[in-house]
Structure 1
């Protein structure tokens, strides 16, 4: 009896005269080994990522221009009509604006100013104009003014919001039905 290797990688025992494997006719192999597997590249090795280059001048030690943001909220119409108090709105913003995840944390980074009907916010840190709109809407909702006022950014000013009345055009028909 001899061992023969078949094409599928199996080793089978066969009699010396047995030609049961057509791919190996007449050749009786003794203790044949399956073909050795090719060595694969090390898959455990992480793909190489190019090293991060230093930012040079833009790094943490940079002392260049300070970030100076200025946003305005114009409350002229509701304040003149007497339905809203600008001082109350200013205190609401002072209590609600978060700096570094904390309320009442203005320090020297954020300041609020009020001139009659205009509120100005100055920030030395990144501050979102959208966040200011969110807080304004929250104030209007709290004081039940959200149904009559909306917060609008004028197309000409990129750093300003205005409080405007909704344009409701109710055309009342004064038609009499002719009931006599």
Structure 2
């Protein structure tokens, strides 16, 4: 089958010097940007939980919370499967979670809130990010003016 010049122009097909039809899309791209080297992935994830204020006030047990984390943290979809991948350490009023596999800071916040709810502390404490790798337990700020206005009504 031979193509006329009009058919060739309509279909976007070019005839090269040998007379063989080749598609415009089959040509190699010109002036491609060089591919940049990808940065190596982060090998360890380290997060801290600062429990100072509630532990000093005696309403929060850091040892019990550490045990809760050891039981509830999932690795490869299974709880109690920490092995050598995730390390949970407690030093005074701070808990450090170090993981060699990807570990989400948001997951740590989720587990902390779950523990607070389980121990009926969720109404008084909240989990706040104090920096990129640290969460802190803080009390809700309740102003005295709101309490007085409610008691007058």
What TM-score results when the alignment is normalised by the length of structure 2?
0.69
**1 CA distance for matches of 2:135 and 2:142?**
21
State yes or no: 1:158 paired with 2:128: no
2:59 is aligned to 83
**1 CA distance for matches of 2:65 and 2:93?**
10
State yes or no: 1:74 paired with 2:53: no
State yes or no: 1:133 paired with 2:115: no
Paired residues, number: 114
- Stretches of structure 2 that go unaligned for 5 or more consecutive residues are 1-36
**1 CA distance for matches of 2:122 and 2:52?**
16
State yes or no: 1:97 paired with 2:73: yes
- Stretches of structure 1 that go unaligned for 5 or more consecutive residues are 1-56, 59-63
3-state SS, counterpart of residue 70 of structure 1: strand
Higher RCO, 1 vs 2 (CA within 8 Å, ≥6 residues apart): 2
Which protein has the bigger strand share? 2
2:27 is aligned to none
Query: CA offsets per residue over residues 93-140 of structure 1, 9 Å max, x none?
Result: 000000000001111110000011100000000000000000000000
Q: CA RMSD in A?
A: 2.4
Moved beyond 3 Å, runs of 4+: none
1:107–1:117: structure 2 CA closer, same or farther, 3 Å change rule? same
**2 CA distance for matches of 1:123 and 1:65?**
13
Larger Rg: 1
